[in-house]
Amino acid sequence: MPQDALLDALINGEKGAWEAFVRRYAGLVVAAVRGIAREAGDVEDLTQEVFLRLCRNDFRLLRSYDPARAGLSTWITIVARSTARDALRRHRPVVVPIEAVPEAQLSVDAVEPVRKLKLPEALLSPRQREILSMLYDKEMEVAEIAAQLGIDRQTVRSAHHKAMIKLRAYFRAEAE
């Protein structure tokens, strides 16, 4: 059935025309909606929303189609995308400001302190121990450590790297 005849039959309420219209344009609507849907499950719902919008109020939207302004496929694509965007906006989750959330919901369970590892005394040099302590216990930056110890930043990085190599080897051997 030609496009003009299909639209006329559709607007006149012929049931077969609606089924033919849906068959002809369903793929186009699905493709347009798929690009907007957040999840794969949304595509079917959004596609249905588009077709409902097209037939709502005695096909009022379809009656507004003007072939002089755009082809029907282009027009349906635009309607499908805008309908899908509108539907997703309506179903956005409500964002609650943090001030409105009861403090009990924001609390965090107490964390038990982590036990310190006992390492063999000879595993790391005194400087490596000191640098690891400054990096991890005192949470100091490399530049701060270098300034406090009076050494170059690269020396701090190198001592850290060598200490980590020794620790990995020690724990790997211990695990085996």
Residue 111 lies in a domain: no
55: domain CATH number is 1.10.1740.10
Copy the structure tokens of residue 175: 């695990």
Between 124 and 109, the more confident residue is 124
Residue 12 belongs to what domain range?
3-90
Q: Is the pLDDT of residue 130 over 90?
A: yes
- What is the distance between the alpha carbons of residues 38 and 94, in angstroms, rounded to a whole number? 16
Q: Is the pLDDT of residue 154 over 90?
A: yes
Residue 144 lies in a domain: yes
Residue 100 lies in a domain: no
The predicted-structure confidence for 66-120, as pLDDT tens digits, reads as follows 888 888 889 999 999 999 888 888 876 667 777 777 777 777 676 666 666 677 8
Residue 30 — φ and ψ, nearest 5°?
Answer: -60, -45
Decide: 74 and 26 in contact? Cβ < 8 Å: no
How many separate domains does the chain show? 2
The predicted-structure confidence for 12-58, as pLDDT tens digits, reads as follows 878 888 888 888 889 999 999 988 877 777 888 889 989 999 888 88
pLDDT band for 143, please (50, 70, 90 cuts): very high
- Same domain? For 12 and 71 the reply is yes
- Same domain? For 86 and 149 the reply is no
Question: Which residue blocks in the chain are alpha helix, DSSP H?
Answer: 3-11, 15-34, 40-63, 72-90, 103-106, 126-132, 142-149, 153-175
Residue 114 lies in a domain: no
pLDDT of residue 82: 92
